[in-house]
Amino acid sequence: MPKRTDIRKILIIGSGPIVIGQACEFDYSGTQGCKALLEDGYEVVLVNSNPATIMTDPEFGHRTYVEPLTPEVLEAIIEKEKPKALLPTLGGQTGLNLAIELHRRGVLDRFNVELIGAKVHAIEKSEDRLIFKRTMAEIGIPVPKSVIATTLNDAQQLVRDIGFPCVIRPSFTLGGTGGGIAYNIEELVEIATRGLTLSPISEIMIEQSVIGWKEYELEVMRDHAENFVVICSIENVDAMGVHTGDSITVAPIQTLTDKEYQDMRDDAKRIINAIGVETGGANIQFAVHPRTGERVVIEMNPRVSRSSALASKATGFPIAKIAAKLAVGYRLDELPNDITKKTPACFEPTIDYCVVKIPRFTFEKFPGSDPTLGTQMKSVGETMSIGRTFKEALQKGLRSLEIGRYGLGADGKDKFNRERLIRRLNTPHPERIFYVKYALYEGLSIDEIANLTGIDPWFIENIREIIEVENQVKTSSFLVGCLDKLDQPESAAPQPGEQEEREFCAKLLRKAKQNGFSDRQIAHLTHTTEAQVCRLRKHLGIRPVFKAVDTCAGEFLAQTPYFYSAYDQTNESHPSDKKKIIILGGGPNRIGQGIEFDYCCVQAVIALKKDGYETIMINSNPETVSTDYDTADKLYFEPLTTEDVLHIIENEQPFGVIVQFGGQTPLNLAKFLEAAGVNILGTSPESIDLAEDRKRFGALLAQLGIPQAPNSAGYTYEEIEGIAHSIGYPLMVRPSYVLGGRAMEIVYDDAQLRVFMKEAGEVSPEHPILIDKFLDEAIEMDVDALADGNRVVICAIMEHIEQAGIHSGDSACVIPPRSLSPEILQTIRQYTEALGRGLNVRGLMNIQYAVKDGKVYVLEVNPRASRTVPYVSKSIGIPIARLAARIMVGKTLEELGFTEEPRIPFYTVKEAVLPFAKFPGCDIILGPEMRSTGEVMGIDPNYGLAFAKSQSAANSALPLEGGIFISLHDQDKPRFLPIAKRLHALGFRLYATRGTLEFLQSHGIQTQIVYKIAEGRPNVVDLMINNEIQMVINTPLDKDSKADQKAIRSNAIARNITLLTTIAAARAAVEGIESLRTTKPTLKALQDYHHELDIARKKCVK
């Protein structure tokens, strides 16, 4: 049956902000879904609070609502738009949960909206663990033994039937949030308490542990005619016990026979039918006992997922796109396979390479948190790599991670701690894969390591083989000999034995490359340099070829150019004679570099494609839209290192390379690429360096007459203390060798400075400490601007809601600015123009300013696309990344029709979303180090409402009534007074501990006393538990009460109580609450906002 004609308008729910466990893979799936439905002529209504997504670009839907993902908002949108159908399976767990909630509230029935893709009963059957288990029992498929508990008491009783260790899984939470493994009753109590709180229905499952079993996943699809296919099989290197998102995984399955695999496939088919998934994709997880082969099913998700994104990238089969098509009535055999164009989508992809996915962690951002891996996901991103062998893919994947490694060790960065060996092996940890190698160095047998880690011997053997090659390279005097000879003039007559030596050398080098070694590793092993190894390699004719990802292992001709490198014989990637531009992506998501940069890359691709260029994308992040095979004209799934990127450039011979859009990753390569003769488009690496080098940049500012906070660098403690005194506290201090706000701190006195110095560790001539005057209580501004070498045009000025000192990525901000005088804004405009010219920017630039006492200071300039580009684009209705891309290929701002700073008659507020709930133990406090994983946007003509929407979208909705706990730093108290008055007038009950209470009371604000934790009961945490507190306003106090505050903030996060840590945020919150009380929020699609802007602009021109 072809597509349905009885529905026209379809609602898609996005997954909201990027959080741990739900990242940009849902932008990828949502964008595919939108494109697929648009292509079939459906009207697409999209709701997603995340402005950084590509799917919320106005052209991917007819009506795009950037609004909070709450049942109330969705109901209002349904009422307004009257869609005939709701497709809930593309927006992750958020999308599914909301669909269920809308069903429960009767909204879907009331407005006659049909759920397509997954029906309510199927969602419930798979999501409710109890029903799932029952269903499995009915069809005779084994599951781990388990019990359900809804109270702590239950949990303690029932665990006796299960025994220890056991796994605790809260119902209906994301990415296993709140779950864990308990080895004893104490741990059970701790984890169960957390789980019961986090589960929206206060329910946890306690389950028989299958820790150490082999873990497998099948990505499957089904259509309404019951046609069933497995798209991809995945084997986890890390055994059961580590969340799949945190596991190193491999596709396809490596260590199961066909019999075992096909039996698993049979189970999967029966499960998807029994659950009642009508159409679409699903993933099903299995555990297999390593010694008996006993198999149990762990869970199934009736929707697209992170794994399905991985499966799509691993095979070339677009699961989300096909899922959308199946949902509107197509059958699998009616849809073509996009890659071959000739064969149908109804088949099982077969691959002829090995895919490795490696998670990316950022524990260094959350001091105090436990880096042990368990059933709750903690990674923030991932890389995927493709190789002809597991060894090659593993090493490629590790160097894609951008953790400063160039493969599986042997890169001069190994930090082996012998004492930790056993613990690192038997306790899952981000470093474990390296420790497997160290264990082999230490002489542990493969079986011993397998027993300690639960990792299958086959994988360990592969690591042993990597060591074998490593040793050959290390001990080969030939290789070093060959390297030496490179620099000598060619002798006319080759010496005897020279030919053999050369051949041996070539063979060994080729072998090392086939095993995934980077030139950097080989250089380390041979005590030479990367450049020398590269030269020798090329001299010996050892270069990679590129192989196609084609879904069919070469059985049919691939029409879609999607490639990976391999040291094999035949190259399949034949460059065209078109004018080509390579766009470098951002690599794995991590804090500080995420979906925003993928958005920029995709925008650049769209713009340059339209201008007739052949676009070539290079990236290693499987969650992204940029790595969809039909985004760019050509896709290389490769690590973003100089070596790997240069190989592609050598093959393609592009007109130029764009490094501006992928964040810091490609920027870091710019210098090396330019040195290799590559044409870097847009702002030159020289300008980038000028902006990033403190000294040079300081000189430029002085020359331009633009003030900067006083700053210096110190090499010894005495020197630093001297500088501190001459600049004066407070100071922003950081070690020079970490970038991106890491380990940055604000110190107020000598004592704090001393603590910082101690923690910073080594200070040496190579590693000075950078010292900046901290502009206390300044207002921070972000400016995004476009420049073409001649003209500089501001795209938007953003005013931070949190004061300076909080990383711009973690701060809420608003367009247009609200509290600055026209004179100040004029100064900002002048400075921006001067900097754009001074740095000779071609493309995008981002400048951060601080305004204090009427004076504007420049904090930093980034001559590249910034994190705020998608937010700005959606606010002003102009795709500025596209304009930037076109500037880079020679267009002027005038030609692009962008010559004036846009004004908007409404407010957009961007708010950061923080992952603290995932890192218990880490203090929840905003500072100069960025910690947020994602962002949301609130949009409304009323500022208070725009702010309120942003808070609601960030899952910390402003309360309209109830209790507020207040605890303030002394210096904040006077500024808080007017806020307190307004809160009091709004009828909130105010609670405070003694100090704050006395201050408020003395100003006539009625406040109730509450004990500090150490003072007695009931204390503030008791009140929070008893639901008496709906909001916490806590600005960081002096050190003495640190522990108390930490407990208060952790409890607020754990209980999802709105937490504000700055006065500015409190002020915005009051304004939001007042607006919410008096004004109805405006519900308008982005297209309508933008349309009004267009009309206004046209009028202006006339």
Partner 1 sequence: MAKKRAQLVLEDGLSFEGTAFGAEGEVFAEIVFNTSMTGYQEILTDPSYKGQMVVMTYPLIGNYGINDEDEESPRPQVSALIIKEGASLASNWRKKESLENYLERFNIIGLEDVDTRALVLHIREKGAMRAGLSTETLDPDVLLEKTLQSPSMVGQDLVRHVTPDAPYQFQPKLARLPTDDRRIYKIVAYDFGIKRNILNLVSAEGFDITVVPATTTAREVEDIRPAAVILSNGPGDPEALDYVIREVRRFLGKFPIFGICLGHQILGLALGGKTYKLKFGHRGANHPVIDVETKKVEITAQNHGFCVDPDSLDSSKVQITHWNLNDQTVEGLCHKELPAFSVQYHPEASPGPHDSRYLFARFRKMVEEHCGRA
Task: Give the residues lining the site for partner 1 (CB under 8 A).
Answer: 225-230, 233, 252-262, 265-266, 289-293, 332-333, 342-344, 346-354, 388-390, 446, 456-458, 461, 465, 547, 552-557, 568-570, 572
Type of residue numbered 618: I
Tokens matching residue 293: 């082969």
The torsion of the CA quartet 329, 334, 337, 341, rounded to 10 degrees, works out to -130
Q: Which of 163, 171, 457 is nearest to 290 (CA)?
A: 457
Tokens matching residue 467: 């060591």
Q: Which of 266, 207, 199 is nearest to 240 (CA)?
A: 207
DSSP state string for 58-112: GGG-SEEE-----HHHHHHHHHHH--SEEE-SSSHHHHHHHHHHHHHTTHHHHTT
- Give, as one character, the DSSP assignment of residue 490: P
Separation between Cα atoms, residue 866 and residue 668, nearest integer Å:
15
- Give, as one character, the DSSP assignment of residue 613: P
178-184 long-range contacts (CB < 8 A, ≥24 apart) are 178/376, 179/374, 179/375, 179/376, 180/374, 180/375, 180/376, 181/209, 181/211, 181/241, 181/374, 181/375
Q: How far is CA 33 from CA 14, 66, 118, 325, 966, in A?
A: 10, 17, 14, 8, 45
The torsion of the CA quartet 428, 429, 434, 440, rounded to 10 degrees, works out to -30
Separation between Cα atoms, residue 657 and residue 454, nearest integer Å:
44
**Cβ neighbours of 819 (radius 10 Å):** 12
**C-alpha R_g of the chain:** 29
Residue 982: enclosing H or E segment and its boundaries?
helix 973-985
Residue 428: half-sphere exposure toward Cβ, Cα within 13 Å: 27
Residue 877's contacts (CB-CB under 8 Å, 6 or more residues apart) are 58, 902, 904, 1086, 1089, 1090, 1093, 1094
Separation between Cα atoms, residue 600 and residue 622, nearest integer Å:
16
10 Å CB burial of residue 641 (0-12, 13-18, 19+) is: buried
Q: Which of 820, 768, 785, 777 is nearest to 799 (CA)?
A: 820
Residue 104's contacts (CB-CB under 8 Å, 6 or more residues apart) are none
Separation between Cα atoms, residue 1102 and residue 1096, nearest integer Å:
10
- Contact assessment for residue 911 and residue 936, using Cβ atoms and an 8 Å cutoff: yes
Sign of CA dihedral 515, 518, 524, 530: positive
